[in-house]
Amino acid sequence: MVGAGAGADRMLLFYCRVGFEADCVAELSAAAAMAGAHGRWEYRTGEALVLWWPAAGGGRRREWTPDFGELVFSRQMLTQARLLEVPAPLERLPAIVAAIRQMGRRFCVVWLEAPDADAARQLLAGARGLIESLREALGTAGVTSGRGPRLHVCLLDRHRIVLGTSEPGNSSPWPMGIPRLRYPAGAPSRSGLKLLEALMLFIGEDDLPGRMRAGRVAIDLGASPGGWSQVLAARGVRVVAVDNGPIAPEVMATQLVEHRREDAFRFRPELPVDWMVCDVVAAPARIAALVAQWVARRWCRETIFNLKLPGKDRWREVQRCHDVIERVLVRADGDHVLRFKHLYHDRDEVTGHLRRL
């Protein structure tokens, strides 16, 4: 795939989930148009990455760089990226080191990566020994110093590598944009990993203890079998699990979960709560209207929710849900923060976070 834009000195590289390349491009194209940036996109379905080649002589003094925190379908963003072709595997290490030294910068860390697609993952697994040799060589060359941006070495295939950088304040904090989370012991389903990742991404480890702790109260809409309720209870939060389906005995055994066999769309809290989480399978716009109602009517202060997306025009559907929420909240008092992200643990859905300020 890479190579058609070789006339450009630098490019941007975005990782995404396999099968979502077109959605990633649709979103990024809208962002580029809004910023007045000109260039072209390059991708193939199934390769889990997208490239942006800026137009030659575009008249911009600085390279266009989106706000990563606002992107939905991009897992990671590499800036100042350049293609390196290595004819033979034995020449790979010296060629990479030489190319990095020519960049004339120092980096806080080096990450060896590959797009999250089958062939690239196999290539990365076979190159694990390269990273230690690379770190040693870069340390000797004085390239890694504990300061500066991150350096990414992305293996595309056996002969092509992309070198790029990321700024800690405008990128994912995880290699390849993939958090490594432990499956909770005794969890009734894997869905709890989605909530764990969402909390890390939207809230962060520094703020989470103050916003989700013992004494807080949460409503879990569509709770069965209890994966999200278990994550909340593990932090000492009292949970009302709302679902006509069963809640796993190990979740109820926490003694912090109360099960209400009621319809998620008709349930109303007796008093305002701190959190509402929602993993209900329903039309995305219907979920968007539901969570907007909870925040606008001050039934909760903060909510994390999933939108089950259609098979096509997924970026357009996210925009539609965003507009549904904003139309409701524009009539409510106070400000709010709304974000969406296609998490690593999501599949055909995106996760949203809405908070009343």
Nearest-angstrom CA–CA distance, 309 and 351: 10
Nearest-angstrom CA–CA distance, 247 and 263: 14
Token pair belonging to 215: 């004494």
Measured distance between the N- and C-terminal CA atoms of the chain, rounded to whole angstroms:
45
Token pair belonging to 339: 């974000």
Q: Are 134 and 95 contacting, i.e. CB atoms less than 8 angstroms apart? A: no
Q: Are 37 and 5 contacting, i.e. CB atoms less than 8 angstroms apart? A: no
Q: What is the CA radius of gyration of the chain?
A: 22
Q: 282: how many CB neighbours lie within 10 A of its CB?
A: 14
Nearest-angstrom CA–CA distance, 133 and 328: 55
Nearest-angstrom CA–CA distance, 351 and 113: 25
Which three-class secondary structure state does DSSP give residue 313? coil
Asked if residue 225 has a cis previous peptide bond (ω within 30° of 0), the answer is yes
Please tell me the number of Cα atoms within 13 Å of 179 on its side-chain side: 20
Q: 65: how many CB neighbours lie within 10 A of its CB?
A: 15
Task: List beta partners, residue 57.
Answer: none
| Per annotation, catalytic residue among 194, 308, 312, 341 | 308
Nearest-angstrom CA–CA distance, 88 and 170: 34
Active site residue 341: no
How far is C-alpha 262 from the chain's CA centre? 32
Which three-class secondary structure state does DSSP give residue 352? strand
Which three-class secondary structure state does DSSP give residue 23? helix
Strands (E), the chain: 11-15, 39-42, 49-54, 76-85, 109-113, 150-155, 160-166, 217-221, 238-242, 257-260, 273-278, 300-308, 336-341, 349-356
Q: Which residues are catalytic?
A: 308
